Structure 1
């Protein structure tokens, strides 16, 4: 049986307990106790969560764990020397160490992220990078595994991380069965972005939403303003004004973001040549797609693909 230790602390974000449920349901689906789940804290005893509920915890000791997971809070909580020491010594003692959301700050303070790729909640990513410059921060990833150290974005991304850990231990089929039990999609790929181009635009009217839905279905075409205006049943001038008023972007910029998002997924999840990806997502050529990737991610498509493959091998 694999012993999983979850570190909690005052102000621990209660949504992180959804991650615990992944391991609970892995036991149910497997029909046997695969995971021994324990909640840990520095002092043990009742620990108050972010919404005031108290959970009973076990004090840090010399118990051996297979996997140690640090939860996150709604804010960057103070880190005690005892917490940092316990986490730091775990890298040599435990098979895996993971953190969700702002728990990545604990791993960084313990020097476990030095020279490693990592992520955290997008809202705190740049603060972590500034405070710990040795971390190779990838601020819009769902989760990242760099050797034995795993980090995830905030909130529900912890479920994706936990499903990936279960998949590594027990196989894809069982992890999928757990996801079905939890009524969630089988885990999102770790390299998937925390952001959605459509959600970021937040169009308010049905007409602009219809135009964007049309665009997403037809990215491989040229998608002129007239095409989008026709889908919205507006004149090109009316459409351009309404689009910018509702989204804060020009139609051209929004379409580029949709193309980049689709191209990135293809780069990460397929073996199509770059020229094919550029063609199928509506970029005129690979050079134009490369420039768009650099604007959006600061990295060319080849690096995005290489990182995704490295992450798959690590998982």
Structure 2
């Protein structure tokens, strides 16, 4: 049973991510019949640490020895965590935590600390989508999943950016104490106890542009006619190529196939319309070439891990649904 929680701090820690852990595990809600944890913030770099907010510091009397008794050790995000070095004694302590069967949790760029300790090797893991490529490059043995909110590869749990730390913390509470306790804490925090979808719906994906002019004009035409059904043969004819040559050139210059390129642009257009208009799902499906609301929903869920209705609520508020 989870009783003892410690959060490991480094210089430049992000106050919000630290606050998330304190809110879930550090508040005494015993008068409400909720679990009370033996909680401590632990410093790996001196008793007073800077944060990424100018002038704001964090002080704690606890050192790394406090990690030896923790059932859960949390590493929140911090400034420049992707490019800095970490105290060897912290990495050793994190490895000991896992070796004795306790859990570790990272929030956002805290995953780089777990990576440096070797705790992501051979494990699925999550991190903020902005850091996913760098994490995968620095720790090639880690299995980085850039689209999810968190990954439970017990005893190593990793979460994506900022609010995903709340999701992961509530997930741990749910595992340890059941959904009623997790739901009660979520209500006190005024957050959903579980969020649908993953990071995919928040990732910025600008329209890819080709550096070569071979299929450039066809890309422009495709973008302007997303509501039309087209074949590779028709596109090849516009480019004055054979279908086989066109398909090969398209793959070389865009990194994908014509079908996948069109599908991605249709989903992007649907996202724009869901965010900026009150059009019905059928109308959006017609404008984006999906034909009907059912097909739109199917492809939207496949691409982003959430429904069009949920996406609209997320980015325009519940009244827009």
- With the length of structure 1 as denominator, give the TM-score of the two structures: 0.65
Q: Deviations over 1:135-159 (max 9, x none)?
A: 1110111000012110000111101
Residue 66 (structure 1) aligns with: 71
Q: Does 1:210 align with 2:278?
A: yes
Indicate the SS of the match to 1:181.
Answer: helix
Report if the CA contact (8 A) 1:117-1:138 is conserved: yes
Aligned equivalents of 1:210 and 1:81: distance in 2?
54
Partner of 1:31: 33
Q: Provide the C-alpha distance between the structure 2 equivalents of 1:61 and 1:67, rounded to a whole number of angstroms.
A: 14
Of residues 276, 281, 285, the one that matches 1:223 is 285
Q: CA deviation at 1:28?
A: 4.2
3-state SS of 2:80 partner: coil
Cα root mean square deviation, aligned: 3.4
Structure with the greater alpha carbon radius of gyration:
2
Q: Distance in 2 between matches of 1:96 and 1:170?
A: 15
Take 2:191 and 2:128, find their aligned partners in 1: how far apart are those partners?
20
Q: Hey, what's the Cα distance between the residues in 2 that align with 1:160 and 1:112?
A: 21
1:143 is aligned to: 150
SS in 2 for 1:210: coil
The unaligned stretches of length 5 or more in structure 1 are 226-250, 269-279, 282-315
Query: Is the CA contact (8 Å cut-off) linking 1:68 and 1:94 kept in structure 2?
Result: no
Residues 60 and 31 of structure 1, relative CA distance in 2, 3 Å threshold: same
Q: Counterpart of 1:68 in 2: which secondary structure?
A: strand
Query: Are residue 55 (structure 1) and residue 58 (structure 2) matched?
Result: yes
Contact map agreement 2:273 2:284 (CA 8 A) in 1: no
Number of residue pairs matched by the alignment: 236
Paired residues of 1:22 and 1:178 also in contact (CA < 8 A):
yes
Structure-1 separation of matches of 2:123 and 2:26: 29
TM-score, normalization by structure 2: 0.64
TM superposition shift of 1:84: 1.5
C-alpha spacing 1:257/1:54, structure 2 compared with 1 (3 Å): farther
Bigger shift: 21-30 or 97-106? 21-30
Whether the 8 Å contact between 1:65 and 1:94 is mirrored in structure 2 is no
Give deviations 1:236-258, integer Å, cap 9, x for gaps.
xxxxxxxxxxxxxxx348x9886
The one-character-per-residue Cα deviations of 1:45-79 (angstroms, maximum 9, x if unpaired) are 12222213222221111641101111111432432
The one-character-per-residue Cα deviations of 1:236-288 (angstroms, maximum 9, x if unpaired) are xxxxxxxxxxxxxxx348x988643335788x9xxxxxxxxxxx99xxxxxxx
- The SS at the match of 2:65 is coil
Unaligned runs of 5+ in 2: 206-267, 309-321
CA contact (8 A) 1:198 1:258 kept: no
Residue 183 of structure 2 corresponds to residue 176 of structure 1: yes
Conserved 8 A contact 2:200-2:304 = no
Of stretches 11-20 and 81-90 in structure 1, the one that deviates more from structure 2 is 81-90
Distance across 2 between alignment mates of 1:100 and 1:136:
17
